Structure 1
Amino acid sequence: MTTTTPVRRPRRDAIENRAGILLAATEAIARDPRASVDEIARTAGLSRRALYGHFPDRDALVRDVIATGAQRFNAVVLRIDDDDPRVALARLASLLWQEAAHVQVVATLALDETHVHDTAVALAPLREAVGAIVRRGQEQAVLRTDMPAATLARLIEEAARSAITRIDASSPEARAIAVKAALSIAGLSWQASVDLLSAHPGILEED
Structure 2
Amino acid sequence: MTDTVPVRRPRKDAAANRAGLLVAAARTLAVDPGASIDAIARAAGLSRRALYGHFDDRDALLRELIASGAQRFNAIAADLDLASAPAPVVLARLTGRLWGEASHVQVAAAIALDERHVEESAAALAPLRRALMSLVRRGQDDGTLRTDVAPPTLARLIEETARTVLVRLDASSPDARSLVVRSVLSIAGLSWREAESVIAAHPDVVAEA
The TM-score with structure 2 as length reference comes to: 0.90
How many Å separate the matches in 1 of 2:167 and 2:36?
21
Q: Assess if the C-alpha contact under 8 Å between 1:70 and 1:121 holds in 2.
A: no
Q: Assess if the C-alpha contact under 8 Å between 1:67 and 1:122 holds in 2.
A: yes
Q: Which moves more between the two structures, 150-159 or 98-107?
A: 98-107
Pair 144,112 (structure 1): closer, same or farther in 2 beyond 3 Å: same
How many Å separate the matches in 2 of 1:114 and 1:94?
28
Aligned to 2:185: 183
Aligned to 1:156: 158
How many Å separate the matches in 1 of 2:31 and 2:7?
38
Aligned to 1:13: 13
How many Å separate the matches in 2 of 1:192 and 1:199?
11
1:1-207 paired onto structure 2 within 5 Å? 5-81=5-81, 82-207=84-209
The alignment covers a number of residue pairs equal to: 207
Extract structure 1 runs of 4+ deviating beyond 4 A. Answer: 1-4
Percent identity of equivalent pairs: 59
**What SS class does the counterpart of residue 125 from structure 2 fall into?**
helix
- Unpaired segments of 5 or more residues in structure 2? none
How many Å separate the matches in 1 of 2:180 and 2:87?
17
C-alpha deviation, 1:23, in angstroms:
0.9
C-alpha deviation, 1:78, in angstroms:
2.2
How many Å separate the matches in 2 of 1:41 and 1:76?
30
One-letter code aligned to 1:164: L
Pair 172,33 (structure 1): closer, same or farther in 2 beyond 3 Å: closer
One-letter code aligned to 2:163: R
C-alpha deviation, 1:59, in angstroms:
1.6
One-letter code aligned to 1:194: E
How many Å separate the matches in 2 of 1:65 and 1:170?
21
CA-based RMSD of the aligned residues comes to 1.9
One-letter code aligned to 1:13: D
Q: CA offsets per residue over residues 80-136 of structure 1, 9 Å max, x none?
A: 213321111001111122223322322332233432332122222222221111011
- Unpaired segments of 5 or more residues in structure 1? none
C-alpha deviation, 1:190, in angstroms:
1.0
One-letter code aligned to 1:34: G
The TM-score with structure 1 as length reference comes to: 0.91
